[in-house]
Amino acid sequence: MFHRKNRLLLIEVLTLVAAGLIMIASSSVYWAEFKYHNPWYFVQRQALFAGLGLVAMNLTSRLNIQKLREKQKPILIGCYIALALVLIPGLGVQRNGSRSWFGVGSFLIQPSEFFKLALILSVSDYLASKDRIKSLRRDLLVPLFLTMLGFGLILLQPDFGSGLVMVCSIVVIVLAADAPFKYFIRLGLLGAAGLTGLILAAPYRMARIVSFLDPWQDPLGSGFQIIQSLFAIAPGGLLGAGLNRSMQKHFYLPEPQTDFIFAITAEELGWIGASLIIIIYLLIILEGVRIAKNAHDPFLCYVAVGIVSLFAIQVMINLGVVVGLFPVTGITLPLMSYGGSSLVMIMASLGILMSIAKA
């Protein structure tokens, strides 16, 4: 089914998926009962998507990546079209203030998740065709345009967190392509100015920054989630309160099965359980770095770097938000948080990583 070179990575991925199912079952039971009159509503759906993700990971691990490279342009164009269509009322489904999903029956599909992978393939193909990056305008204008166009469409949803993760992963790919560091200073200054403008332009983003600096200024509003997250983590101690014994999931921490699932994990499994989860994430990231270093084809190397950086940045931001190191961004924890599109696409991306490992 999977190549022997990928057995360790496969075990690590399946361990986190299983841990995610257990924690979703534990964290969402009361909210699911209240909202859907079925305490297992979220875990049943996540288990279905985990099965689809496993199939997708198996298929992508068998892919000929060079053939996928030939199809990257129409795939990217299709993703741009999907990002535009999801903004149209009646086509896109709005949840929590964001129009980011297409509805298929009772299931939702998030096109931005597919776009991230499509953009990594396209930028990797472009950079691999360059012998050397000599000019910011001539050699990096295309990947910059492709990234900013996608970022703009995602920002209109609005989904600032997903757009930020995507941009950061592309920056890492360009770094891996050995672009002169002076270009990153210029782009960094431009990006900082743009980021400041985006924060000031949207009151809710400014409120998140203020609540990050001092959540107690608005403990029942913008600071509520981070305060409740810290209230979950703090009493966990070394061994935790025990599985299914969280207090914060009793309608204190909103929808704990999504962005803040790690807070419930730390509360119920304690420092030891939370540390083991983090160690497995680190092992996956290190395995991905090893695969990227061993890839002889520049295109395969850049794709591996993009997938690993996308995964690692998302993990870092989510964990940082949960413990109060970053403002709330709405970024899920890969492989563990509830979310079908995210889970399937992450597993499919890791399947591509497996394919690169045996190439």
How far apart are the C-alpha atoms of 110 and 101, rounded to whole Å?
5
pLDDT of residue 131: 67
pLDDT of residue 236: 85
Split at pLDDT 50, 70, 90, the class of 105 is: low
Split at pLDDT 50, 70, 90, the class of 54 is: very high
How far apart are the C-alpha atoms of 222 and 93, rounded to whole Å?
24
pLDDT of residue 136: 57
Split at pLDDT 50, 70, 90, the class of 134 is: low
Q: How many CA atoms lie within 13 A of 331 on its CB side?
A: 26
DSSP state of 7: H
Split at pLDDT 50, 70, 90, the class of 107 is: confident
pLDDT of residue 65: 86
Least confident of 37-46, 120-129, 280-289, 324-333: 324-333
pLDDT of residue 351: 95
Task: Give mean pLDDT, residues 108-122.
Answer: 91
Laid out side by side, the sheet with 98-104 consists of: 92-95, 98-104, 107-109
How far apart are the C-alpha atoms of 299 and 127, rounded to whole Å?
8
| pLDDT tops 90 at residue 223 | no
Split at pLDDT 50, 70, 90, the class of 130 is: confident
More confident site: 58 or 328? 58
The number of helix segments (H) and strand segments (E) in the chain equals 14, 3
The distance of Cα 160 from the centroid of its chain, to the nearest Å, equals 12
pLDDT of residue 202: 64
Question: Beta-carbon neighbour count of residue 168 at 10 Å?
Answer: 17
| pLDDT tops 70 at residue 217 | yes
Split at pLDDT 50, 70, 90, the class of 279 is: very high
pLDDT of residue 141: 81
Give the residue among 175, 187, 183 at the shortest CA–CA distance from 124.
175
Q: What is the pLDDT of residues 305-315, one digit of tens each?
A: 999 999 999 99
Q: Is 255 exposed, middle or buried (0-12, 13-18, 19+ CB in 10 A)?
A: middle
Split at pLDDT 50, 70, 90, the class of 226 is: confident
- Tell me the DSSP string of 261-304: HHHHHHHHHHHHHHHHHHHHHHHHHHHHHHHHHH--SHHHHHHH
**In whole angstroms, how far apart are CA 177 and each of 16, 101, 181, 282?**
31, 33, 11, 23
pLDDT of residue 292: 94
Give the residue among 121, 207, 116, 199 at the shortest CA–CA distance from 160.
199
pLDDT of residue 132: 67
The distance of Cα 171 from the centroid of its chain, to the nearest Å, equals 16
The amino acid sitting at 305 is: V
Split at pLDDT 50, 70, 90, the class of 55 is: very high
pLDDT of residue 6: 83
Omega cis (within 30) before 158? yes
User: Is-contact 355 37, C-beta < 8 A?
Assistant: no
Q: Report the mean per-residue pLDDT for the chain.
A: 87
Split at pLDDT 50, 70, 90, the class of 334 is: very high
Question: Residues 39-56, buried b or exposed e (16+ Cβ, 10 A)?
Answer: bebbbebbeebbeebbeb
Split at pLDDT 50, 70, 90, the class of 325 is: confident
Q: Is 280 exposed, middle or buried (0-12, 13-18, 19+ CB in 10 A)?
A: middle
More confident site: 230 or 182? 230
Where do the structural domains in the chain lie, given as residue ranges? Answer: 4-357
Phi, psi of 28 (to 5 degrees): -105, 0
pLDDT of residue 142: 86
Q: Packing angle between helix 7-36 and helix 261-294, nearest 10 degrees?
A: 150
How far apart are the C-alpha atoms of 352 and 307, rounded to whole Å?
9
- Measured in residues, the chain has a length of 359
How far apart are the C-alpha atoms of 296 and 148, rounded to whole Å?
29
| pLDDT tops 70 at residue 201 | no
pLDDT of residue 315: 96
- Give this prediction's pTM: 0.91
pLDDT of residue 53: 95
**In whole angstroms, how far apart are CA 103 and each of 25, 108, 132, 168?**
24, 5, 44, 28
Q: What is the pLDDT of residues 281-292, one digit of tens each?
A: 999 999 999 999
